[in-house]
């Protein structure tokens, strides 16, 4: 039996139709040698700001968390998934996800927390057309941790940036969890009102983020009340302007954030490791916290460099083994994705 897992209700229904599986309960469809399980979103995630706050062992020398461990958010939903993954008849797990870092990471955290050992393959949800899904199900892709590793590095970077911004600007834990590395430069780029599409194009031209992360940043800035829409255009609110005044020259420095995103792309291609991004980023953020001002090593802005493509790259088939990095992937993953030790 093959277990097909997705976190989207519409995808679960479409996959069931493509397989000819019948509804079993509100989460599962079964038939034709397959079980389709809707796992739900946000069951397991990295530790929030309240759960892994700033550590300050010495006055004037604040320290960010060395890593952000995964935590189970919904124990009942997790137990349903864990039992399904460990069912003795499951011969293979097919994870149906959108081809984004966040989605790949979200499932891997579930798979690891459940300590599943069934062989794993993936189906990219580029659409829900029945014929396309049948073809994808007939030829699933080998699973690779490259995009997952980039997703982990990006999630940790966002968590550390959010904690730093909250500490420097006097924001609460909820706002710290919502802010990421793209938020401040997005506000900096919005020097005058523009449409959503205009801001997204400006971010892309500067080499910031991916199509998905750019859209997510704009949506969360609006939800936080730092951006607002008037007559079809985005405007920075008073709260957003205050944040830019305090942090625009540091956490909003477009050149630095562009370098972070270029490093993330190289992690996704297997050219660099997570620590190549997180160690220098953590050192920079800790110096910001210690000084309450731009660090002495803050580089000048550099002009935007043209990008080869505006979409996320397709990862290579395998990731190189890297000592002291998260465990390398294998056709049937048996090692845990662990944060790298801090040096």
pLDDT at res. 336: 44
Secondary structure of residue 248 in the 3-state scheme: coil
pLDDT-flagged residues of the chain (< 70): 55-61, 293-343
All residues at 6 or more sequence positions from 210 whose CB lies less than 8 Å from its CB, including other chains: 100, 101, 261, 311, 312
All residues at 6 or more sequence positions from 168 whose CB lies less than 8 Å from its CB, including other chains: 246, 247, 288, 289, 292
d(CA 254, CA 334): 39
Selection from 198, 319, 338 nearest residue 266 by Cα: 319
Place of tokens 């971010």: 203
Two tokens, residue 338: 């662990």
Q: Where are the beta strands (DSSP E) in the chain?
A: 2-6, 22-23, 28-31, 34-38, 44-46, 55-58, 61-63, 70-72, 92-97, 120-124, 141-142, 227-230, 233-236
pLDDT at res. 53: 78
249-274 pLDDT tens trace: 999 999 999 999 999 999 999 999 99
Partners of residue 3 on adjacent β-strands: 35, 93
Helices 146-169 and 274-291: crossing angle, nearest 10°?
0
Secondary structure of residue 107 in the 3-state scheme: helix
**How many other β-carbons are positioned within 10 Å of the β-carbon of residue 279?**
14
pLDDT at res. 321: 36
pLDDT at res. 55: 65
pLDDT at res. 154: 96
C-alpha separations of 144 from 147, 176, 213, 247, 260 in Å: 7, 31, 21, 37, 22
Place of tokens 């690779």: 144
């Amino acid at each position: 039996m093959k277990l097909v897992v997705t976190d989207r209700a519409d995808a679960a229904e479409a996959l069931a139709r493509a397989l000819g599986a019948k509804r079993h309960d509100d989460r599962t469809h079964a038939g034709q040698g397959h079980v389709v399980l809707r796992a739900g979103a946000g069951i397991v995630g990295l530790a929030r700001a309240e759960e892994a706050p700033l550590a300050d062992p010495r006055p004037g020398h604040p320290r960010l968390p060395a890593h952000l461990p995964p935590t189970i958010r919904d124990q009942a939903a997790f137990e349903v998934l864990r039992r399904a993954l460990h069912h003795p008849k499951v011969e293979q797990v097919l994870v149906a996800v959108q081809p984004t870092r966040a989605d790949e990471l979200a499932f891997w955290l579930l798979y690891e927390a459940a300590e599943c050992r069934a062989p794993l393959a993936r189906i990219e949800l580029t659409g829900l057309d029945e014929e396309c899904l049948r073809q994808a199900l007939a030829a699933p892709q080998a699973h690779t941790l490259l995009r997952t590793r980039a997703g982990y590095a990006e999630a940790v970077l966002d968590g550390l940036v959010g904690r730093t911004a909250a500490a420097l600007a006097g924001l609460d834990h909820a706002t710290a969890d919502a802010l990421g590395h793209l938020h401040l430069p997005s506000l900096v780029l919005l020097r005058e009102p523009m449409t959503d599409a205009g801001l997204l194009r400006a971010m892309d031209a500067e080499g910031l983020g991916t199509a998905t992360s750019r859209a997510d940043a704009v949506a969360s800035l609006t939800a936080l009340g730092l951006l607002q829409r008037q007559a079809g255009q985005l405007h920075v609110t008073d709260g957003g302007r205050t944040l830019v005044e305090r942090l625009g020259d540091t956490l909003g420095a477009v050149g630095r954030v562009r370098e972070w995103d270029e490093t993330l792309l190289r992690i996704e291609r297997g050219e660099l490791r997570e620590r190549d991004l997180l160690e220098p980023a953590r050192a920079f953020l800790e110096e910001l916290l210690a000084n309450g001002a731009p660090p002495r090593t803050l580089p000048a802005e550099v002009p935007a460099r043209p990008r080869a493509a505006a979409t996320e790259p397709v990862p290579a088939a395998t990731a190189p083994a890297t000592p002291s990095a998260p465990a390398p992937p294998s056709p049937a993953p048996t090692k845990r994705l662990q944060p790298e030790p801090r040096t």
